[in-house]
Structure 1
């Protein structure tokens, strides 16, 4: 099937699919949105939510995806859960997987890994943020994204998420910002474009005794408009909204030390179809 040449995704395939994971390749940690707090409107900017087109200031969280009970196997009916069997990426740029296949599976893999990178704590560092944007945003949009995010990641925003005004982490605390893709699906595409939804869970907050911004969990779905340029999939625009969210369990909240230790000891994944 073909993928098209328009900037906005249209026509083409509409297959669905969930992601699988392989061992970490040193990818940056993913990040997420805060759930219920007075700074919610600001926090929605963090991580993947900062993928904003120039005309949109901030996006809402959420979206949809659906679970399938099919088991892995051959044939279209197994697409929601079956792995493609294709090598997901050929290389990496600054720790971010790049070099995806020019097909539906490649677009889904790119969207999932880009969500992880844009939801990472590294987005709070100007130099690292610019490097991430250079790696995954389509060249014609990089300047717009940089300008928008430079304004978003300002002193007041840093303060609202618990950081020092310059973006550094207060002494004695561990800053947590991670996004974990749960599944992906392609909703529209043509020869050179694809629209991919990524259902995610995320963590955001400060781990440490007496933290007023403890690490919280949230669920959201990101929609990324991608285009094929320079031999790879790149982001043109993004939107995000809440959910689907499961019913909270009865898990005991971990201590600040347990959470900080987990963040330091557990690395991220490369996601692929």
Structure 2
């Protein structure tokens, strides 16, 4: 799929510093600027603790950066009324609601009439292989099926931008590859802009148009790569493409110096958000 040359989102000089309860500073992000084109599938990769999730949360407006700004269609994210979707690592289905009512939740919040929102939810469930499970509850579905429901819930509102934070991390490799295929199919049909956080280089190459590699903390853009593998892509076959193997080798070579045995980013972020 070819995306347009229109810039959908821009990060301008993003910096972010966390402060501990004792006032100690941890600089997470140092001067990151990225332009994301409309309809582009952008993957952001980096070693654990490099600031990927912090950057994503700034991009979707969950909190403001210490310095810099986020623009959507040239407007500050604080003023923008664009629809965005967010798919996290965790299972965010509401256990007391049926699957169809979970999928329709965003439409309900928007004020869409019940008949229309259930119709749209069921159409998405059918295309994603969840037909017949409309009246089931989350505990009655497998992990892969629940994740599928989370994905189509984000798609139900047809958001301009979808943010995904390592959505398939907890799943087995077979379920993960199947869901990767479904993400690509839905993206090809809808042409949403997707920003995808992952530590899995293979996954990034399989899905993305472009990959941004972040350095270790304080995070900067270390390298960018264009994924020159034709679409549509077959999940099982594209990893044997010579371009795939060449790019995978290059990214591994570039990332090996960034590896650290330090997982403090997530705890720092949670503590900072709690205090905010």
Q: Which has the higher contact order (CA 8 A, sep 6+)?
A: 1
Structure number with the higher helix fraction is 2
Larger radius of gyration: 2
Normalising by the residue count of structure 2, what TM-score does the alignment of the two structures yield? 0.29
TM-score in terms of structure 1 length: 0.29
